[in-house]
Homo-oligomer: A and B are copies of this chain.
Amino acid sequence: MSLVVVGSVAYDSVKTPLGHRDDVLGGSGTFFSLAAAAFTKPHIVAVVGEDFRDEDRALLSDKGIGLDGLTTEAGKTFRWGGSYHDDMNGRDTLFTELNVFEHFAPKLSEANKKAGFLFLGNILPKLQASVLEQVESPRFVAMDTMNLWISTARDELVDVLSRVDALFINDEEAEQLTGKRTMVLAAREIQAMGPELVVIKRGEHGALVFNADDIFYAPAFPLEKVVDPTGAGDTFAGGFVGYLHATADLSPANVRRAAIIGALMASFCVEGYSVERLRHIDADTIRDRYEAFATLTRFDAPAL
């Protein structure tokens, strides 16, 4: 029962208050699968151009990521450029060059059609739907989305939402999608649209996990230095879903653990540009930070 992620593989050019990097490895599928690969073997379905570097392919492959669904088309790899504000919370998109991604029509291999766990990264809702139609009988399907699709492809998005088990979304998008100002009301509204599991990401403030009636708060790990937030949300989802897949356990207690793993992986992601930090994470690094993370929210019952 494999884990398949459909998303983007891109070259990013990123400016932050601390510096900049050009044409570095990025994309939702990349961050997701690198985070998931710390726990399981994800298979990535994506498209790159002829300029995709051998070293980047080798990185993904060395991490155990299945590349049977990574196709190469004539043309250039998807490129995105962004500039972060001083507080690192907001950013402006400087350019988006879809390149080979413009005509991306994900076609799943026979093996990938049998995926047990599926993550639909942030691509056009109609492409997410076409992937859903190709998989045979997945046990768990999660999706991401973004403000652009909420405003320009709402009907298709709502249709996909009705057919998935989980949505990863940030707080502003959750409000945009539902018109509800508090995350409790927004999550209930989204649950009524389909997914029982709604994960509302809040950047440096962590994530709220609404799993049927269970509400869990996964904090973000307090870091001394944030270098580049790009990919943190996809890394969070990759750790989360990768851990669920590795443990094959969808119980509420395990979903809570998975959220902590997601937050843990995201905390590494933002400590470096691109995948610089993620590429060097191993089981020991994860265990060490987990210990610090586990104590962050622990308290004994007060006398009441």
Chain A residues with CB under 8 Å of chain B are 17, 86-88, 181-185, 202, 205-206, 208, 215-217, 219, 222-226, 243, 247, 253, 256-261, 283, 286-287, 290, 294, 296-304
Q: How many copies does the complex hold?
A: 2
Chain B residues contacting A184 (CB-CB under 8 Å) are: 222-224
Which residue on chain B has the smallest CB distance to residue A216?
Answer: B296
Given A217-B219, A304-B287: A299 and B182 interface contact (C-beta under 8 Å): no
B297 contacts A216, CB within 8 Å? yes
Q: List 8 A-B contacts (CB under 8 A).
A: A182-B226, A208-B222, A215-B296, A216-B297, A247-B302, A257-B299, A257-B300, A261-B302
| Cα of A257 to Cα of B304 in the assembled complex, Å | 11
CB pair B222–A299 under 8 Å, yes or no, is no
In the complex, which residue of chain B has the Cβ closest to the Cβ of A188?
A: B224
Distance of A302 Cα from B262 Cα, bound (Å) = 12
Contact A303 B247 (CB under 8 A): yes
Instruction: Please state if B294 and A224 are interface contacts (CB–CB under 8 Å).
Output: no
The answer to whether B222 touches A219, judged by C-beta atoms less than 8 angstroms apart, is no
- Contact call B226/A222, Cβ cutoff below 8 A: no
The reply to whether B219 and A297 contact each other, CB–CB distance below 8 Å, is yes
User: Distance (Å) between the CB of A197 and the closest chain B CB?
Assistant: 15
Instruction: Verify A217–B297 contact, CB threshold 8 A.
Output: yes
Residues of B within 8 A of A17 (CB): 181
Task: Judge whether B88 and A256 touch: CB under 8 Å.
Answer: no
Bound complex: CA A17 to CA B175 (Å): 15
Inter-chain pairs besides A182-B222, A294-B301, 10 sampled, C-beta below 8 Å: A86-B181, A182-B224, A184-B223, A202-B205, A205-B205, A215-B222, A257-B302, A259-B299, A261-B302, A290-B301
